[in-house]
Structure 1
Amino acid sequence: MAGQWMRGAAGTVLAVVVGVAAAGCSDGSGKGSGAASKAASAASSLASKGADVLASASAEAGRKLGEIKNGVNAKEDVKLGSPATDGDGRAAVKVTARNTADSAKSFAVQVNFTDPSGNLLDVVVVTVDNVAAGATGDATATSNRKLTGDVRAAVGRAVRH
């Protein structure tokens, strides 16, 4: 059974910040309206919190991978399919791990969901358990929340243990 540790972040924060900033244009005097200024401040705070959540998710993924004892780098042995949107609007991608060891091994794989510019939208760690020697095993990495637009997926780290 494949397990999954997930933490998500507000990837739409940038759109909110841009939208609020556009709504808060100045009146030509160099000063924005009070409401627009408050909205811009709130958006800035939201963006900061979104960045904090994403940093926390990345740190949690690193912590989970760091807990694995006697693991070896297996990034080259892991391939991802193309991300698709599941019925809940979350991004999902097939993870295939190839075991090149001479005994059964498990894999922990950090999947980074990004936009086309490489901006991190979500981080997920998925396990591929008990892959026989010389065989491949599959799991599905699913984003923690709905992701919209052109979502990409990349292996951040992979550990065989």
Structure 2
Amino acid sequence: MTATPSGGDCGFHAISWALLHLSGPTLSSTDVRRKLSTHVRQNTAFYSDLLRRQGHWELADETANAVATFSRSVLMEGVNGHWLGQMWGEIELLALAKAFTVCVELYCFEVAPQQLRRYARFEEGKRVVRLLFTGSAQAGHFDVLLPRRTWW
């Protein structure tokens, strides 16, 4: 596991760090936010339909406004800015998987059996980004789970 800094940007830092370790481009958390915002705006119809199907909104105008609002919100950094998953929950992870053509796996730690459990998987590519979410939904934290390296 690689610890990411707290302060509202942890999810976006985690994605940028994971992409770097996948031999991907070097991106800042700001770059990740921009790409997510652009991807969602360019795919407004897809996300509007998805939001409607999941019961977030019923009218097309409302979902189109929600996409526009999200595209602006996700660009706001820091503690008072947009936290990953804040507005759309797992749909934001799906959007990241699509934007970067990766598989995003979300893990949580279960206290009773003392083990990690994969909570969700968004498969949009072969490269895998593994995120560990800890804490409450309102004040949680994302870290990166890196694969174990075998040294011969």
- Same fold? TM cut 0.5: no
More strand by share: 1
Flag the structure with more relative contact order, 1 or 2, with Cα contacts below 8 A and sequence separation at least 6: 1
Instruction: Give me the TM-score of the superposition, normalised by structure 1.
Output: 0.23
